[in-house]
Amino acid sequence: MQKRRVGILISGRGSNMQALVTAMRQPGFPAEPVVVLSNRPDAEGLEWARAQGIPAPAIDHKAYANRMAFEARVHQALLDAKVDLICNAGFMRMLTGGFVDRWLNRHLNIHPSLLPAFPGLQTHQRVLDQGALITGCSVHFIRTEMDAGPIVAQTAVPVMPDDTADTLAARVLAAEHKLYPHALHLVASGAVTIAGERVVMTPPIGKVPTLMWPPLA
């Protein structure tokens, strides 16, 4: 199978980008990282990517007159790298419908909640404030609405009684680093297709254990 060419968009340290690149470098992974782009020239993840031999240019959104001009430059950089799939990995820019439509069903994002619950920012504090007992993370195909789109994979993370937003965020992030490569593998291998606005797995998933939290005695 020919490897799918992946472009990764970041805005900061890119810990999910690092997890994706590390996974893609493993034998048999059906995708390869070909470019890392950031809208912030000072993003720490750019140096890490360059040290791995991955082209990692910065495209500063502040240098462009509007979002469309910025996105046109990002789009061209992805085309120049012959990208098949895009992964947002801490990319903190909302994208217009024009960009989303160009990469429809080829553009993934990870969000630190069990979508459709708790979209947007300040996720972990909101989870705690509302007394949720289980949270997690979700990988989904991007749509124009924030944190919306067909969900590829999710991981559940129990909320502990003494959790703060920071401790919960750290545990969810550790789960993200495992979930995102798994989801990308599913998409790049062709195991995932889209029917309407839902993900279809091939072959279908069988029965799995149920998570109960707090657990039964």
pLDDT value for 214: 86
pLDDT, tens digit, for every residue of 140-183? 999 999 999 999 999 999 999 999 999 999 999 999 999 999 99
pLDDT, tens digit, for every residue of 25-53? 999 999 999 999 999 999 999 999 999 99
CATH of domain 4-121+137-154+176-201: 3.40.50.170
pLDDT value for 90: 94
**Backbone torsions φ then ψ of 141, nearest 5 degrees:** -75, 140
pLDDT value for 201: 92
What does the domain layout of the chain look like in residue ranges? Answer: 4-121+137-154+176-201
Q: Which residues contact 52 (CB under 8 A, 6 or more apart)?
A: 21, 33
Catalytic residue among 61, 111, 140, 185: 111
Q: CA-to-CA distance for 168 and 127, rounded, in angstroms? A: 9
Clarify whether 182 is annotated catalytic: no
pLDDT value for 43: 96
* Residue showing tokens 């012959």: 82
- Pick left, alpha or beta for residue 176 (phi over 0 → left; psi -120 to 50 → alpha; otherwise beta): alpha
pLDDT, tens digit, for every residue of 88-131? 999 999 999 999 999 999 999 999 999 999 999 999 999 999 99
* Side-chain half-sphere CA neighbours of 2 within 13 A: 3
**Backbone torsions φ then ψ of 94, nearest 5 degrees:** -75, 140
- Whether 84 has a pLDDT exceeding 80, the answer reads yes
State the pTM of this model: 0.95
